[in-house]
Chain A
Amino acid sequence: MIIKIKTSADVPSSEITPERIYRSRRQFMQVTAAGALGAVAGSLLGEDGFRLDAAQENLPPAKKSSFTTDPSVDPLNTLEQITSYNNYYEFGTRKDDPLRYAGRLTVKPWTVKVDGLVNKPGNYGVEDLVNFNQLEERVYRHRCVERWSMVIPWIGVSLSEVLKKVQPQPSAKYVEFTTLVRPSEMPGLQTAGLEWPYVEGLRMDEAMHPLTMMVVGLYGKVLPNQNGAPLRVHMPWKYGFKSGKSIVRIRLTDSQPNNTWAVQTPHEYGFYANVNPTVDHPRWSQAREQRLPSPLRNRPTLMFNGYGDQVASLYSGMDLRKYY
C-alpha cells in the first residue's frame, strides 16, 4: 500500500467529483430542459441546477474518527455508487429514483420538531442540533436487509451529542424518528405501497451508543438529497432501513415506536433489525452478502455487521431470533 502524506495544498480526493457524476448531472439538467415547458420549467431547471450544486457545498473540516473501518479490508465505495443506488421510497421504489428525483427537494430551511419526554422541546434548525465545529468523518459498513453492502465515509456527530442538547427525561426509553412527507417534491409517496410518514426508532441505550451517528455529510461534502439530506441517522450494526433519512421530528417516548416496515410486513421486519447471519429474512438467507459493485454474493455476513465488540452487550440475554 502506498502511504501518502497529505500537505495542505493537496485537494482531498473526496473533494473531486468523479467525471461521470459531473456528466450525469449535466445530462440530468439537459433532460430536464428538454422536457421543460416555458418559463415555469425554466425556473425548475434553475432550481434543480442549484440544488445539485448546493449538494457540492463543503463542510467545515471533520476530524477522522477512530470509528473507521480498515480501508485495506473494506475499501470505500465511490461517490457515484453511494449516490445512485438508494432505497428512499418517498422518491420511488427503483434504486435510481432517488438520484433522479431527489434533486428537487428543498432542504433549506429545515426544521426538526423535538418533543415528547425532553426538557427542551421545540423546533430546531439543523445547526441548533448538530455542532458543525465538531464534525467527524467515520467510514462505516452499510448493510441493507436486501443482502448488499457498501462502505461509506459519513460526516456527522454521535446522536448522543444531539440528544444531550435537548435533554431527554429519565422516563424516556425510546427515540422515534419521523421523516419528511412532502407530496409536491416526492413523487414516490403515492406509488411505493408504504404508509407515510416513514417512522423509525431506537431504544435509548442504542440511541446513546457512540456508534449511532447523526449524519449531515458524505465524502467531505454536504449530504446529497438522495442520501437523506439535510440530516439522517446511521447505525452501522443494523440493517439500512433503520436509518431514517431527512428527519423532521425526534420524539422521546416511553413506548416502543411502531417502525414503518415492521408495521407493513411484521413477519419480515422487526424493531431491532440487527445484522445477523443466523436469522433469515423469510424470503432469503442472510448468511452471505454482496459487497457492491461485486456481482457475487460471496461475503459471509458478520454478526452485528462486524460491530459486535462495541454493541453486542446491548443485547445480552435477549433472544435475537424473537427480537429480530
Chain B
Amino acid sequence: MIDRLRQPLAAAVAALANWRFFKPAVFLACLAPGVWLGYHAWRFFIGGDFMALGVDPSITLLHETGKTALILLLVTLSITPVRRLLGVNRLQAVRRMLGVWSFTYAAIHVSLYLTLDQLCYSLATCEFAAIWEDVLKRRFIFVGALAFVILLLLALTSTTGWMRRLKRNWQRLHRLVYVAAIAAVIHFIWIQKSDIREPLNWAIWLAVVLGIRIVFAIQKRRRARERLPVTA
C-alpha cells in the first residue's frame, strides 16, 4: 500500500530533482521572499508609502524574515528523510544551499532587530546595554540568539574546504543544526501572547523530521548489531 503511493511520488520528485534547472530554480525560490519583502520595504522607505509593510513595518519585516529563515531550516532538515524515504539522492545537491539561505534570512532578521529595535544604525544610537539585557534576561531572545550563533557557525564552516579540514568533526559540528532548529521553534512559541497555533505548525513539522531521523538511527544500530559476530 505504502509502496504503491511511494513509487509515483518518488518518480515525481526524481523528475523534479533531475531537471536541468533544479538548482537554479531552488535558488530563485529561496530568493523570492526576500525580493518580495525588499520591494515592499523599498515602497515604504523610498516611496513613502507608509502602508506598504502594513501599519507596523518593523513587525512585518521581523516576522517575515524570521518565518522564512525557520521554514528554510525545516526544508533543509527535511531533505535527508525525504531523500532516503523516496530514494532520490539527487535532492542532496540543494541541501547546503538551503541551509545557507536559511542563515541569510536569519542574519537579515537579526540585523533588523539591531537596527529598528535597538537603533544600531549608528554606533552613537545603538543601545548596547539593552541588547545585552535582552539576551540575558529574556528567554525568547536568548534561544533566538543561540539559534543564530549556531547558524552563523555552520554557515561559516559550510564550504568544502572546511569540510575537508574538519574531517569527521565536521559532521559532529553540523549536528548542532538540530539544536538551532529546536531553539528557533521555541523562540517563535515564546514570543506569542496567547495564541500559539502558528508556531505549533512548525513544531509539528520539526518533530516529524526529527522523529524519522530517530527511527533511521535505531534501524542503523539494529543492523550493526545483527552483523556483529556471536562471541559468547
Knowing A193-B196, A296-B116 touch, does A85 contact B134 (C-beta < 8 A)?
A: no
Specify which of B44, B56, B134, B197 is in contact with A290 (CB 8 Å cutoff).
Answer: B56
Interface assignment of B58: CB less than 8 Å from any CB of chain A? yes
From B165-173, B187-195, B208-216, the one touching the partner chain is B187-195
A-contact bits for B13-56, CB 8 A (1 contact / 0 none) = 00000000000000000000000000000001000001101111
- A188 (CB) vs chain B CBs: closest residue: B195
Nearest A-chain residue to B44, judged by Cβ: A295
Query: What is the minimal beta-carbon distance from A227 to any residue of chain B, in angstroms?
Result: 13
Segment of A32-40, A88-96, A123-131, A133-141 in the binding face: A88-96
The residue in chain B whose Cβ has the minimal distance to the Cβ of A77 is: B55
Chain A, Cβ-Cβ closest to B52: A293
How many Å from the CB of A76 to the closest CB on chain B?
A: 13
Q: Could you tell me if B50 and A296 are in contact, using CB atoms closer than 8 angstroms?
A: no
A148 near B56: Cβ-Cβ < 8 Å: yes
**How close is B61's CB to chain A, nearest CB, in angstroms?**
7
Q: Residue of A at shortest CB range from B125?
A: A298
CB distance from B58 to the nearest CB of A (A): 4
Interface membership of B117, Cβ < 8 A: yes
Determine which of B56, B125, B138, B194 lies in contact with A282 in the assembled complex, contact meaning CB atoms within 8 Å.
B138
Tell whether, in the assembled complex, residue A293 and residue B55 are in contact, meaning their CB atoms are under 8 Å apart: yes
A297 pairs with B117, CB closer than 8 A:
yes
Does A166 belong to the interface (CB within 8 Å)? no
Minimum CB–CB distance from A24 to chain B (whole Å) comes to 10
Mask: chain A, 70-110; 1 = CB below 8 Å from B; 0 = not = 00000000001100110001000101100000000000000
The answer to whether the Cβ of B57 comes within 8 Å of any Cβ in the partner chain is yes
A264 at the interface (CB under 8 A from B): yes
Using Cβ atoms and an 8 Å threshold, which residues of chain A touch B138?
Answer: 282-284
Contacts of A312 in B (CB 8 A): none
In the assembled complex, the Cα of A89 lies from the Cα of B197 at a distance in Å of: 14
Chain A contact residues: over half helix, strand or loop, or mixed?
loop
Closest A residue, CB atoms, query B121: A296
| Contact call A85/B51, Cβ cutoff below 8 A | no
B56 near A297: Cβ-Cβ < 8 Å: no
Interface centre among B55, B119, B196 (most CB of A within 10 A): B55
Whether A293 contacts B57 in the complex (CB less than 8 A), given A20-B51, A283-B191, A285-B133, comes out as: yes
Assuming the contacts A287-B130, A297-B117, A297-B119, asked whether A292 and B55 have C-beta atoms less than 8 A apart, the reply is yes
Instruction: Indicate if B140 sits at the interface (CB-CB under 8 A).
Output: yes
Q: B55, B58, B133: which contacts A85 (Cβ < 8 A)?
A: B55
Interface residue count on the B side (C-beta < 8 Å): 29
| Chain A residue total in the interface (Cβ 8 A) | 30
A163 within 8 A of B: no
Specify which chain A residues have a CB less than 8 angstroms from the CB of B51 in the assembled complex: 20, 80-81, 293
Q: Tell me which residues across on chain B come within 8 A of A193, comparing CB atoms.
A: 194-196
A52 within 8 A of B: no
On whether the beta carbons of A95 and B56 are closer than 8 Å, the reply is yes
Partner of A296, one of B53, B58, B191, B194: B58
B50 touches A93 (CB 8 A): no
Known: A80-B51, A297-B119. A192 touches B57 (CB 8 A): no
Which residues of the other chain, B, contact A292 by a CB distance below 8 angstroms?
A: 55-56
**Distance from B182 Cβ to chain A, minimum over Cβ atoms (Å):** 19
Q: Known contacts being A95-B55, A293-B55, is A283 close to B140, with CB within 8 Å?
A: yes
When the two chains form their complex, are residues A264 and B194 in contact, meaning their CB atoms are under 8 A apart? yes
- Whether A191 is near chain B, meaning CB under 8 Å from some CB there, is yes
A194 at the interface (CB under 8 A from B): yes
A16 to B125, CA, bound (A): 39
Measured CA separation A296–B44 after assembly (Å): 13
In angstroms, Cα B195 to Cα A194, docked, is: 8
Q: Known contacts A192-B195, A193-B194, A282-B138: does B116 contact A295 (CB below 8 Å)? A: yes
User: How far, in Å, is A171 (CB) from chain B's closest CB?
Assistant: 35
Which A residues from 266 to 290 make CB contacts under 8 A with B? 282-285, 287-288, 290
Residues of B within 8 A of A192 (CB): 194-195
| Complex-state Cα separation, A283 to B138, whole angstroms | 5
Write out the residue numbers on chain B whose beta carbons fall within 8 Å of the beta carbon of A293. Answer: 50-51, 55-57
Other 8 A-B pairs with CB < 8 A, given A264-B194, A265-B193, A297-B119: A93-B195, A148-B56, A191-B197, A193-B195, A283-B190, A293-B51, A293-B57, A295-B116
17 contacts between A and B (CB under 8 A): A81-B51, A81-B55, A89-B194, A191-B197, A192-B194, A193-B194, A194-B194, A283-B190, A284-B138, A285-B130, A285-B133, A287-B130, A292-B55, A293-B56, A294-B57, A296-B116, A298-B119
**Which residues of A pack against B, CB within 8 Å?**
20, 80-81, 84-85, 89, 93, 95-96, 148, 191-194, 264-265, 282-285, 287-288, 290, 292-298
